[in-house]
A and B are shown apart, each in its own frame.
Chain A
Amino acid sequence: MSFQVMIEQLAGGLTKSISIFLLTLLFSLPLGLLVSFGRMSKNRIIRSAVWIFISILRGTPLMLQLLAVYFGPFYLFNLKIGGSWRFTAIIIAFSVNYSAYFAEIYRSGIESMPPGQYEAAKLLGYSRASTFMRIIFPQVVKRILPSVTNEVITLVKDTSLAFSLAYAEMFTIAKQIAAKETSFMPFIAAAVFYYIFNAVVAFGMERIEKSLDYYT
């Protein structure tokens, strides 16, 4: 196999890695906020249930969660699996897993807000919903951005875990080519691709952080 073919195949895998990455962020960022509300709920039952949910997701390997989501319907309900379910299962497992991490980040950000901001907003006539949307959340975003950046960068590398379901993202492809060609080259090329992917993401996050530098 020529070098060029290998790069082309890896690049095809890379676009799949990128779709996992983008879709996971798309779903896990809002879901994480919802989970953080549950985690801070006044209702003890909801709060404890969400705490258990988070601790399981953070306390077990993501690879196991991928397998559980993918094979779950078969073992639990004897449903046939395969086809497009593979990709759906990957997105569900990644999104739910990352929502647990994001939830804790949101929570720490929300809890770090000084009560005076809520009090001032209340007396200036903001409803509870607008207080959160207009006053609290924008400031929380700024506070948590460094932690979010960490998770996002981890996610770039975590997309390679989809190989455990033999999904044709970049790492899976690198492994296949390496086995077929008995060469280490595909791994090195994949490493370079991951590195560039990460650099782009890190650059983007830095830009976002900079754009919020106008206040402290």
Chain B
Amino acid sequence: MRFALSEDQTMLQDSLNRTLADLVPLERVRRFADDEGPQQVSDIWMRLAEMGLPGLMIPEEQGGLGLGMLEAALASEALGKVAAAAPFLGSAVLAPLALKLAGTDEQRRRWLPKLATGAVTAGVAISEPIAGARDGAGVTAADGRLTGQALFALNATGADLLVVADKNGGLHLTHIAEAAEPMPSIDVTRRLTALTFKDTPAEALASNGALDRLRDAAWILLAADTLGAAQAMLDKAVAYAKERKQFGRTIGSFQAVKHLCAEMAAELEPARALVWYAAYAFDHAPDEAPLMAAHAKAHTSEIGRFIARTATEVHGGIGMTDLLGLHFWFKRIGQNRQLLGGPEKVREIAARMQGLAA
């Protein structure tokens, strides 16, 4: 037995970290907020396609790499670390997973090869049946048509394909919405969309509970993203503390500062093992996966919040500034926390999974 990354996984992680460090420097993160944001996203996606990232989980027959959830978690972590904008979650993971679990052969043949090259991207709208409906949102499906609103859709801006969950948890494929309005959020690195459907034609996917698997996958990858973002914040705080001088000594020699850093590391490091296990379980211990995914999501939300604020605090005034840009990670962690269910909601589901709540 080995609870550690394999050599291949370590190589994937290293090469992703290296590529992303070059590809997404802070100056680029800053431009995600501009008008040219969507262009930045597709440039990054095309570069990552050279490494096969869009097809990471797509079977080799369909042009992908055929890798598993742990590899996807490493990719999410690497993306979170540099606060990259990329349609990874929707296009490379959730849409292919929906097609794999509930699509027809024909649908798979039609979409997976194109998703694998990054030539088309997919958005995913599954918030309402997982996190609950706000402001009257929710989509109903009848006779191959969708009607209603889906909020907080992921990677849906400019997407060629949409995977939409209706109110009852049924999944549908469509390429168009009547309207797709941006939902400007705190996190400029990943845009959210409000989709409106009005008798929009859609293909229903098999009704076999695939949404639960999509939810677990999304929870695991949001957790991994937070892990990466929190690690980046901790690294920046430690580096800054070793450099900045006050009272004639580096602030990192003050115990008050050292102990904050130690607390961040002590919270972060065990969370890594939980996220890895949840990802591993998704492929290899499916009975355990839902609970592990829920705990990974809720727990990284909590420690992520602690690290986001503490790492900022270690920087003093400059930590607050737009110039330093620490806030991009702060906000990314904050967005991961609320997306697809905040920790209280997710823990309630975790209790229900174990028969501890009605």
Decide whether A and B assemble into one complex: no
Q: Which residues of B contact A (CB under 8 A)?
A: none
